[in-house]
Amino acid sequence: MNRILSVVLVILLSACASETTKPTDEAGYQPEDASLSAEDKAGGPTLNPLTDPANILSKRSVYFDFDKYLVKDEYKSMVLSHARYLREHSNASVRLEGSADERGSREYNLALGQRRADSVKRVMTLSGTKENQIESISLGEEKPRAVGHNEASWAENRRADIRYQGE
| Cβ nearer to other proteins, comparing 48 with 149 | 149
Residue 122 CA to residue 137 CA, distance in Å, equals: 13
**Distances from the Cα of 100 to the Cαs of 18, 77, 162, 163, in angstroms?**
19, 23, 15, 17
| Cβ nearer to other proteins, comparing 54 with 111 | 111
Taking residues 73 to 112 in sequence order and writing x for each that binds other proteins by CB under 8 A, - otherwise, the string is: ----------------------x-x-----xxxxxx-xxx
Helix segments in 1-105, DSSP class H: 2-21, 32-42, 73-88
Q: Which of 39, 65, 88, 142 binds other proteins (CB under 8 A)?
A: 142
Q: Which of 9, 27, 47, 137 binds other proteins (CB under 8 A)?
A: 137
How many residues are recorded in the chain?
167
- Residue 65 in contact with other proteins, rule: CB under 8 A: no
| Cβ nearer to other proteins, comparing 17 with 160 | 160
- Residue 138 in contact with other proteins, rule: CB under 8 A: yes
Residue 89 CA to residue 10 CA, distance in Å, equals: 37
